[in-house]
Structure 1
């Protein structure tokens, strides 16, 4: 059976540029911390990738700290200053939400606000709040000293620059825009002192010890450069047109289906839709059998049959939150792909309607 991949928010297929960079890096012998020629060659690969990531994320080269991924990067919240608690946006990804701690009621030690720029399940974009005259971030009845921004789903899909985002910290993951899995970055605002994510040999300017994953980092850099190039030539705009074709095709027949965030600003590749009474997990399995890969919620929660915490936080009821699926497209998705998916989904929906009647 021919397969059609429509789950790019979970992980994007490896870009050819990333593959080529990784293959070349495999032949580099040295340790980046070694001072001999082989070590310097390895170090140059790491620094080239650091510059590529910095250009794509819109930050200074020195602000990029390589990690094993966004989840490790989010661990900076564990090592926050004493008395500084974490306020988390209610629709944030689990890698941020797991650090929620608001025990410091009076805020004497300050707060850190952790939020997602673009939601992985719905694609809805949330603009970071503006700082007040004292430089604090309002969030509900409280104010935060620091802002950590989850830019994982935004990089390469919408214009973004850490330098103008107002964030103190940001997290990025390579495999969301065509790099390899298992590598990401923490972006640390210049001058901000953080506790090392991992203690040891002092790599990554002392902010994350451990020998760098040269092969993964090389692929990360190449993918970041390619994703930024796609953004500049308007590839995401083409993807958005396909997303709209998909939604309009489904809406024409399935008039009870709710398209989450349709009237909000969204990243261009993501469609999250709810068909009340038809479980998302059932839809995913039926589409899988039909040859299409989609998802029900965040891939990081795969295997967990439960309603979407994000959708519940957005005000949808329990049945609606259990009846959502996400279709996410990419630069190589075609109009034929989305129309064939729409046809298969509508056939499955018709069968569901007949059984429910």
Structure 2
């Protein structure tokens, strides 16, 4: 995607540019007054927008429209799901612990509403995939009266590596535990089905697929089984999340969801990524692409060259008007060693050099070529000198 400054934006996993159609939906919704809880015509119009959006969001993940709960974003959705108390047919259902994979988003890895001593980490292999056999051991070692919540992301935001969700879903169901999936990075980029996975809840985000920021959803599985609300006080979202719904944001979210499921578009982006990686390795043969040999999102590349600092490289990319990310960039904007790569066994010195490129709906071949041109100059300037 370009602007007058020829900005090359390749940081879609952080936030995708707003789709024009989503912007139009936002504008139309903002023009109209109305609270979806009101019974007059304006309120009914807002309610209609929200209910239509519920169907589009459910279609995105093969879920149930009535089980879509709109939130302020995926972090809120995750923290809502990560509750030690759920309701089963209206009665409290107590979870004693939460097991989270070692590569989760910060909103999950902290354990949500569970006490710190009740949070356990599930190990991953060198490719960053959850070790299902290790998870089985952890679950089988629990006491007879213990029920846990297992939370695993669908696809990693840094490496794009896909998780064995179906295997985890079968395991948790077999042993009688709860399964939550953070599908923020996968929804709208690869096909995903709650029904096939067998999870109890799933979180997704609007701005990762070209919708507006500040809106997301928690989608529940089958049956009357849900976490106790994080926000209470009103009857919105069927008493599952208090607060007036963000009607305009939800309208834009729905449009982005409907537009992000085109298989031809996914294939186009994947071809661009593969071409970029091929040229990247020609320019810098010693570059290591993390997760290269396992299934990944078709839009994501995370790589490093030993001896090249990600922080310095990012500054140089910015000077070339190329927006990419460090695999370890956090809310403070500082660059450190990625907890994801460290969990994969990557040496800290290499992890500190990780650079993530993520493509999306507006990315074209010119964007990729501008990135490669910038990387060629940066690599020649920064590559370590050969010793001996």
Shorter chain as denominator, the TM-score bin is over 0.9
**1:110, CA displacement in angstroms?**
1.1
Partner of residue 173, structure 2: 135
TM-score, normalization: structure 2? 0.85
Equivalent of residue 67 in structure 1, options 59, 65, 71: 71
How far apart are the structure 2 equivalents of 1:59 and 1:83? 24
Structure 2 residue matching 1:86: 3-state secondary structure: strand
Partner of residue 223, structure 1: 256
Structure 1 residue matching 2:31: 3-state secondary structure: coil
Partner of residue 61, structure 2: 57
Whether the aligned pair in 2 keeps the contact of 1:120 and 1:298 (CA below 8 Å) is no
Partner of residue 140, structure 1: none
**1:162, CA displacement in angstroms?**
1.4
Say which is worse superposed, 107-116 or 311-320, in terms of deviation.
107-116
Whether the aligned pair in 2 keeps the contact of 1:86 and 1:102 (CA below 8 Å) is no
Q: How is 1:300-311 mapped onto 2 (pairs within 5 angstroms)? A: 300-311=330-341
Equivalent of residue 158 in structure 1, options 190, 197, 207: 190
**1:298, CA displacement in angstroms?**
5.5
How far apart are the structure 2 equivalents of 1:320 and 1:355? 16
Structure 2 residue matching 1:350: 3-state secondary structure: helix
Partner of residue 369, structure 2: 339
**1:304, CA displacement in angstroms?**
2.8
Partner of residue 90, structure 2: none
Matched, 1:103 2:118: yes
**1:190, CA displacement in angstroms?**
2.8
Whether the aligned pair in 1 keeps the contact of 2:82 and 2:149 (CA below 8 Å) is no
Partner of residue 378, structure 2: 348
C-alpha spacing 1:352/1:132, structure 2 compared with 1 (3 Å): closer
Partner of residue 206, structure 1: 239
Gaps of 5+ in 1: 138-143
Query: 1:193-218, CA deviations, whole angstroms, 9 ceiling, x for partnerless residues?
Result: 32012101111011101000011011
Structure 2 residue matching 1:176: 3-state secondary structure: coil
**1:28, CA displacement in angstroms?**
2.1
How far apart are the structure 2 equivalents of 1:5 and 1:338? 10
Say which is worse superposed, 218-227 or 334-343, in terms of deviation.
334-343
Partner of residue 291, structure 1: 321
Tell me how many residue pairs correspond in the alignment: 348
Matched, 1:87 2:99: yes
**1:282, CA displacement in angstroms?**
1.2
Structure 2 residue matching 1:135: 3-state secondary structure: helix
Query: 1:281-332, CA deviations, whole angstroms, 9 ceiling, x for partnerless residues?
Result: 1111110111100000255545233100000111101001101000001122
Gaps of 5+ in 2: 86-93, 120-140
Say which is worse superposed, 203-212 or 245-254, in terms of deviation.
245-254
Matched, 1:30 2:42: no
Say which is worse superposed, 218-227 or 125-134, in terms of deviation.
125-134
Equivalent of residue 161 in structure 2, options 124, 133, 158: 124
Structure 1 residue matching 2:325: 3-state secondary structure: coil
Q: How is 1:4-43 mapped onto 2 (pairs within 5 angstroms)? A: 4-43=8-47
